[in-house]
Amino acid sequence: MTDLRGLAVGSVVAQRGVLPEAVEVVRERQHGDMAAVAYLARRRSDGSSFRGFAGLRRREDGIWRSSGGWSSGAPDGVGPEALWAAWGGWGSGQRGTPDVGVRGGWVADPTAALVRLTDPSGRVVEDRVEAGVAILIWDQGLATREAVVELVDADGAVLRRALLERS
């Protein structure tokens, strides 16, 4: 069995200039041939902290490889309508309708239990919030340009809503 967590930490170490012991995995999620690992890390150069996602994708030969990622420094503060304290994503395929993709991050509202992404055709991708993090992964074309993201509480009430590209 492939150690996705170890591959992701290795990718962060190689690409972000940190020591392996300076990377803390917060959450990981796999969906089909895609995976994302949320992490906290400290830079070797100045000790500053940052967070992000390391992405992995299983190729046709069955080997998992680095496939994307993002990182962000500590947020300066988030507004009352913000969905994310830190977020990012990547995908491949046609711009605006990636065939496969990952979006997510640290949610801005601590009472959020679920993050739901709905594209204009009604397709829904969702993930529960764990350790303050949601990871949305899809493997079929999704119209992200006009997609809506919602933070939902444990009772199913929508807390916050925004267009994905503006969230």
Per-residue model confidence as pLDDT tens for the chain (167 residues): 568 888 888 888 888 888 888 899 999 999 999 999 999 998 877 888 899 999 999 999 999 999 889 998 866 667 888 899 999 998 877 665 667 789 999 999 999 999 999 999 999 999 999 999 999 999 887 888 889 999 999 999 999 999 987 66
Task: Classify domain 4-73 at the CATH topology level.
Answer: Nuclear Transport Factor 2; Chain: A, (3.10.450)
| C-alpha of 4 from chain center | 15
Helices (H), 17-122: none
Name 135's bridge partners. Answer: 104
Burial 64-86 (b: 16+ CB within 10 A, else e): bebbbbbbbeeeeeeeeebbbbb
Contact 28, 35 (CB under 8 A): yes
Which CATH code, of 2.120.10, 2.60.40, 3.40.50, 1.20.1330, is assigned to 84-166? 2.60.40
